[in-house]
Structure 1
Amino acid sequence: MNRSNCINPKRFGTFPLCLLISCCLSVSFYLGLVTHCKYLITPVQTISSLAAAVNLINPNQDIKSNITCIETKQLLNLYSTTVCIHSNADVVSHKIATDRIWEERYVTRLLRILIRNPFLDMIDIGANIGSFTMFTAGALGRFTLAVDCYLPNIERILRAVQIENVQNRVVLIHNALYSESGKYLTLSNGPPSGIELGKATQQNFTSEYIVQTIRFDDLLPILLEKRVQSVMIKIDIEGSENYMCETGSKMFELIDIQLVMMEWGHGFRKRYPKRYQSMIDFFTQRNYVVTDPDCTELDLKNWQTVWPGNIYWIKTINFRKNIC
């Protein structure tokens, strides 16, 4: 009979060594499993060290609002998800209700990048109703930190997260990025997709048009506790994108932010030229290159006139290696 060296009585002396090796392999396998399942062992409710102003949403809370949700179009012949919409008066919701997708070109590009980079997670700033978040977390299964200032948007993302059962892949934050934490700002009273930050106001939790502010660095404890190392960012916050740079130096220092997809609004770049110039300085000082969605490099001197409405800031080291 052919027997293993570990259990052959004639070779009993080798048994302790085999036992030790087996134990080591078991521990290694367990640690590997824990690392692979890192988001399952750190529930969102246990995140500590957050600034008091950070409004962390309970992913399992009940939503009493009557919300319409639809299944999206399938992208790359494989990925679809759930998105919950507003009425047709909102341009994003109307587009999704009609075509079952919003910004298909950019969502598809994002999916291709994430597929090519399996350890890259996602931060969605200005998540709106989650048309990007629900593909990265709900369809692709990546951890996604989603931030939005408008409570009805938050409710719709939350409902979609619950439908897709991805509460452990999404951390949802109801705040606005700003230069200071803990302030209260009014929001413009218009269609959800055109919400802008307004003037400072008094604390008021009863209005959906008042939001508390945070700094981008305030979100760092979430990523550290979730063991997030590398991310890409999609940011679309209607002319307030500069606050990510202005208040995010620690985030960019400690997290490998390989790519930032940013709306480069024609109207806002003319209205706030100093803000936009400050963002250019921020990224160039950190060795990012800027491209259009097709990975064509852009001339830094022509940002006011020639740059398209959507741009990509890409770390130089990742530019040709794994992004473009």
Structure 2
Amino acid sequence: MNNKECFGVCCLLTITLMIGWQAGRYFDQMPVAILNVNQTRTKNALFPFTQTINKIIPNTFSQTSHSKYNFKTGVHVFRHDLIKWNADDNICDNLPPNLKKATLHTAHGDTPIYVHNPSEDIHVSGSLVRSRTWEPHLLNLMAGHLRKDPELQFIDLGANLGVFSLAMAKFGRQVIAVEPLSINLHRFCASIKAGKLTEKITIVYNALSDKRENVSLGIDRRNVGGTYIVNNKNMNKVKGSSVGGQYKDIVMTAKLDDILKLPGFDFKKVIIKMDVEGYENFVLNGGQNFFDQVDVQAVLMEWMWQRSGNAAKEILAFYAKRGYKPYTPGSNSPLKTSLSHAWPVDVIWRKS
């Protein structure tokens, strides 16, 4: 190699080293906030899996796009006013005194949850006070789906006291929780703050339907979780509940499609838990675009009010059109749609 060749090689090496040094400085100085390592490791009776996942995922919408809103309580709440989305601080401000506190057991540790008097809410609140959980087999099922895919987020339609939302947020995922009843939201807000989960959960303070309107909420005696929309035409629900009177709440409905325009919404892949007391067909009819634009991997929904009638036919057609199959929770054998009148209380719809 002559002197000119040696000089050329030396120059090339020098330039390469300088580029590498500058690149190193750039990556060292990158804001940590744009990266989030999602690491999970669990093993206990409620979530009997052990797995560690390390994956770099984008920073989440409630930590970034909501920063322009001044949520004085710390809890992110939005409400659709039949025209557009608005931040709503009122529902989480000035909470009633002496709310009853219980504990929710999750795979990633216990978290506080505020409940109703068990004598007035015998199912959900009663179970939480007695055993620190509610429907653990379904919590396990939802967590199992999230565990398989670190990019999945969680949407809770009919959040009630927030059992599923709190558990999935504790798991480390972003949650959108839809709940219309104020006495539930008071407790849910308190639970989010007490559990330090304000950056994980966004509340939507509306009922969902296929049109935007004002509605009243009916009382299911001793079962706050059985609250339903009064103009619900699902007589299976009305006849199967101890209905009596109405809550004072007059709430506005939104469409599932409206969540696509929720400030900061950027979920690409989700699983959904839907418990809307016989109103499922209306929710789905108002979510056609949502299912077209978001990769909904699975939907866990209550079926007990849909075993007969036109609503069941609408729901079956909706999912069939999009290539979903129904399963008993925890089973890998699809249910027969011809026997939908005999399906279990809950079913999970999964993409084929």
TM-score tier, shorter chain, comes to 0.7 to 0.9
- Asked whether the equivalents of residues 121 and 232 of structure 1 are also in contact (C-alpha less than 8 Å), the reply is yes
| Corresponding position: 1:69 with 2:101 | yes
- 1:219 aligned to 259, 267, 292, which one? 259
Which whole-Å CA distance do the structure 2 matches of 1:74 and 1:18 have between them?
A: 45
Return 290-299 or 58-67, whichever deviates more: 58-67
Deviation of 1:58 (Å): 3.8
Task: String of CA shifts for 1:109-148, please: whole Å, max 9, x gaps.
Answer: 21222122211110000101011111011x2121110001
The 1:294/1:14 distance shift into structure 2, 3 A limit, reads: closer
Give the aligned partner of residue 60 of structure 2: 38
Structure 1 residues 240 and 114: alpha-carbon distance in aligned structure 2, compared to 1, 3 A threshold = same
Distance 1:14 1:141, change over 3 A: closer
**3-state SS in 1 of match to 2:326:** strand
The aligned counterpart of 2:112 is: 82
**How many angstroms does 1:209 deviate by?**
2.8
Q: Would you say 1:22 and 2:24 are equivalent positions?
A: yes
Aligned CA-pair RMSD: 3.0
Tell whether the 8 Å contact from 2:80 to 2:206 is kept in structure 1 after alignment: no
Partner of 1:203: none
Q: Match for 1:129 among 146, 161, 164?
A: 161
C-alpha distance in structure 2 between counterparts of 1:213 and 1:10, whole Å: 66
Q: Structure 2: how far apart are the matches of 1:196 and 1:13?
A: 70
User: Aligned match of 1:148 in 155, 179, 187?
Assistant: 179
**Aligned pairs (5 A) from 1:274-293:** 274-293=310-329
Query: What is the percent sequence identity of the aligned residues?
Result: 23
The residue aligned with 2:339 is 302
The C-alpha deviation readout for 1:281-302, integer Å capped at 9, x for no partner, is 0111101111101222100111
Distance apart, 1:165 and its partner CA: 1.3
Structure in which a larger fraction of residues adopt strand: 2
SS at match of 2:23: helix
1:235-270: per-residue Cα shift (whole Å, max 9, x none)? 0010001122101111111111000000001x4433
Offset, 1:19: 4.4
TM-score by length of 1: 0.81
* Maintained 8 Å contact 1:238/1:268: no
Residues 51 and 129 (structure 1), Cα distance of their counterparts in 2 relative to 1, 3 Å cut: closer
The unaligned stretches of length 5 or more in structure 1 are 1-7, 201-206, 317-324
Q: 1:127 to 1:10 in 2, by over 3 A?
A: closer
Deviation at 1:208, TM superposition (A): 3.9
In the TM superposition, 1:1-324 aligns within 5 A as: 13-14=15-16, 16-22=18-24, 25=27, 33=35, 36-39=58-61, 40-43=63-66, 46=69, 52-53=81-82, 54=85, 56-58=87-89, 61-66=92-97, 67-75=99-107, 78-88=108-118, 89-91=120-122, 92-137=124-169, 139-181=170-212, 183-190=213-220, 191-199=223-231, 208-222=248-262, 225-265=264-304, 267-270=305-308, 273-295=309-331, 296-304=333-341, 306-316=342-352
- Asked whether the equivalents of residues 45 and 58 of structure 1 are also in contact (C-alpha less than 8 Å), the reply is no
Contact residue 185 and residue 210 of structure 1 kept, 8 A: yes
Partners of 2:218 and 2:257 in 1: CA distance: 25
Q: Once structures 1 and 2 are overlaid, which stretch shifts more, 54-63 or 124-133?
A: 54-63
- Residue 346 of structure 2 aligns with an amino acid whose one-letter code is N
Question: Which string of whole-angstrom CA distances, capped at 9 and with x for unpartnered residues, describes residues 25-71 of structure 1?
Answer: 45878695275323422226659x98533565449943331211222
AA in 2 matched with 1:80: D
C-alpha separation in 2, matches of 1:81 and 1:45 = 28
SS at match of 1:133: helix
The residue identity in structure 2 corresponding to 1:245 is L
**Which runs of 5 or more residues in structure 2 are unaligned?**
1-9, 37-56, 70-75, 233-246
Q: Say which SS state the counterpart of residue 269 (structure 1) adopts.
A: coil
SS in 1 for 2:177: strand
TM-score (norm 2): 0.75
